[in-house]
Amino acid sequence: MPRIPYYEVENATGKHAEFLGKLGTHMNIYRMLANSENGLKGFIRMGNALLYRCELDPVLRELAIIRVGRLSRAAYEVFQHERIGREAGVAEEKIAALRDATIEAPAFTDNEKAVLRFTDDVVRNVKASDRTLKAVQAFLTPGALVELTLTIGYYMMVSRFLETAGVEGEDGQAEWLKTAKL
């Protein structure tokens, strides 16, 4: 149940209405964010940059995002990014391992485990330890490492926004929630 009312999209005018028309408001997160025109635009700009304009490998990105969502107990986020992760090439066995909260599963490569450990460290401790940082520095460029850290932080923000605002899931999520272990 939403804790903040969804924006009445049909009441939008001017540039806000134009932006919402281009974006589409089929996702409840956008309907909630639309309460702040500038907040929505900044959110979309940063999210699109992290999803579509980075050198960080999309599989590593999605593993980190799903892990952030699970650690944050943000069902909406996990549901959306399990789907996006599959589209990016994340194998079903890896998604299942994340559902079981098993980041050390044999399904993950050593590099993927390092990314997941780094993600856990940043989410839980704010500052990654020297050990987890060095493990990802061994195979990520400085640019990809910056992008990974920004992705973790961005999706921590998204998860907290979703849970605080009470954003509801769309079609298919209710059934998924019956099997989700968050």
Match 């079609």 to its residue by tokens.
171
pLDDT of residue 171: 73
pLDDT of residue 170: 79
Residues 99-157 have pLDDT tens digits of 988 899 999 999 999 999 999 999 999 999 999 999 999 999 999 999 999 999 999 99
Please give the model's pTM, rounded to 2 decimal places.
Answer: 0.93
Looking at residue 13, what DSSP letter applies?
-
For residue 178, pLDDT over 60 is answered with no
Which CATH code is given to the segment(s) 56-177?
Answer: 1.20.1290.10
Please report, for the chain, the start and end positions of each structural domain, with discontinuous segments joined by +: 9-51, 56-177
User: How far is Cα 81 from Cα 87, in angstroms, rounded to an integer?
Assistant: 9
The pLDDT of 153-163, averaged and rounded, is 97
pLDDT of residue 174: 59
Residues 22-52 have pLDDT tens digits of 888 788 999 999 999 999 999 999 999 999 9
pLDDT of residue 4: 96
Residues 45-72 have pLDDT tens digits of 999 999 999 999 999 999 999 999 999 9
Q: For the chain, where are the E strands, in sequence order?
A: none
Distance in Å from the first CA to the final CA of the chain: 18
- 58-61 long-range contacts, CB within 8 A, separation 24+: 58/88, 58/89, 59/85, 59/88, 59/89, 59/90, 59/112, 60/111, 60/112, 60/115, 60/148, 61/88, 61/147, 61/148, 61/151
The pLDDT of 71-95, averaged and rounded, is 94
Looking at residue 56, what DSSP letter applies?
S
User: How far is Cα 124 from Cα 128, in angstroms, rounded to an integer?
Assistant: 9
